[in-house]
Amino acid sequence: MKKTISFVTILAICFCAHCAVLAHPVLVYDETGLLSAEELAGLSAIADSLLETYNIEVALAIVEDDAGGGLQKLASEMAQFLALGESSDGFAMLYMNMATMDYSFVVEDGAKAAFTDYGIQLMLNSDLLPLLGRDDFAGAFSSYYDVASYYLEQASIGRPVDSNGNTRQEQAPQSNTGRIVAIVFIPLLVAWIACSGWKAQMKTANVAKKADNYISLSSFKLQVDEDEFIERTTTVVNKEAGKQQTANRSGKF
């Protein structure tokens, strides 16, 4: 009887654990070992936080599959494998195949409000592909979740990133202003402080328009020396008639 109760208890525990896994899908999946344990845990924590806040799954799948079959199909199969969208309002997934160096971005259901076509293209061209092109995978994945967080936040307040509204361009003047201040005004401020310090040290310099303010008339005597030529020597050379002179120039360039 005790053995039967123990067996039933183990089955119940396993069933509960299985249900817990199904209720919380894996949002960061890496079968290639590209991410370290710390990076995997950090990205997973961000994805879990976004899911809890917006009920949207932002997933990342890194695989190495050279069997073919079409990139979109493989991405869809991965979304089903990870059970994305089954317990949320929708999902967005960045699927990367390291074997072929291809990527696919999949958006379903409620996530489409935050991840518009314009927003996806902007994120890929401005935030992900430049970093992936330099093999900065950790930076690209971190940027992916940063941008996804911003997109979800803007969509939640009714300002999704789109070409007809919030284009993310309003953020550029702020950063450009900071750069202008750092590049132009800060050096000018430093130069002004330095010149002010030098000016304060020049208290002994007085403006004077005449030299006698600096030297006395009796302390300086100027003697004038002149050379006078009293003789001139002239040499006359007779030139034979019938001969012409030729100018020759030679040198190095």
pLDDT at 70: 83
**What's the whole-number mean pLDDT along residues 227-233?**
53
**What's the whole-number mean pLDDT along residues 24-49?**
94
pLDDT at 23: 53
Which of the 8 DSSP states describes residue 165?
Answer: S
Neighbours of 87 (CB within 10 A): 13
CA angle centred on 108, ends 21 and 93, rounded to 5°: 60
Q: What is the pLDDT of the chain when averaged over all its residues? A: 75
Predicted confidence (pLDDT) at residue 253 exceeds the cutoff of 80: no
Kindly list the domain boundaries of the chain, sorted by start residue: 26-174
Note the CATH number of domain 26-174: 3.10.310.50
Count of residues in the chain: 253
Better-scored residue on pLDDT, 223 or 70: 70
pLDDT at 80: 93
> By CB neighbour count within 10 A (0-12 exposed, 13-18 middle, 19+ buried), where does 196 fall?
exposed
**What's the whole-number mean pLDDT along residues 209-224?**
61
